[in-house]
Amino acid sequence: PLPVLAVVGRPNVGKSTLVNRILGRREAVVEDKPGVTRDRVSYEAEWSGRRFTLVDTGGWEVDVAGIHARVAEQAEVAIALADVVLFVVDATVGATSTDEQVVRLLRKAGKPVVLAANKVDGPRAEADAAALWNLGLGEPHPVSALHGRGTGDLLDTAVSGL
């Protein structure tokens, strides 16, 4: 079986956009608002000559009260099946309590984590990314999943851990 790279994070941080960038095609559903009903979708992917299973998570029924628990539940399942976790945070928003909840799950699972500080569309947002050192997960990799900025380096790092 192929090693598994799972992409986890809150709704709307850009997980599916990043997945599409890795795949080089628009297969994962990108939504301006969370609300797609699929929970977990696996793709066969390749990066730098390395094949792996790429898992996109998300697809939450929007329920503001329950979103916290729902994210945690999805993240927990994805983390359990992952060899490496690609944890995506929206650097322009910063770490939320939901992000911190996922961090606790990551710590508990003890899986290797690569931290993507997404929506760093230009150099002025680099400082937002640096603020995510506070999550205690090591280096935040500033990326723009939308424009491709920094995603090559991020994926090199993630795939090298598979």
Residues that bind ligand GDP (CB under 6 A): 9, 11-17, 30-32, 34, 58, 118-119, 121, 144-146
Does 74 bind Mg ion (CB under 5 A)? Our answer is: no
Q: Is 11 annotated as a binding residue?
A: yes
CB of 14 to ligand GDP, least distance (A): 3
Total residues in contact with Mg ion, by rule CB under 5 A: 3
Rounded-to-integer distance, Cα 152 and Cα 30, Å: 20
Rounded-to-integer distance, Cα 66 and Cα 45, Å: 32
Rounded-to-integer distance, Cα 71 and Cα 102, Å: 8
CB of 112 to ligand GDP, least distance (A): 21
Q: Which residue is nearest to ligand GDP (CB)?
A: 14
Q: What share of the chain is helix, strand, coil (3-state, %, to 5)?
A: 40, 25, 35
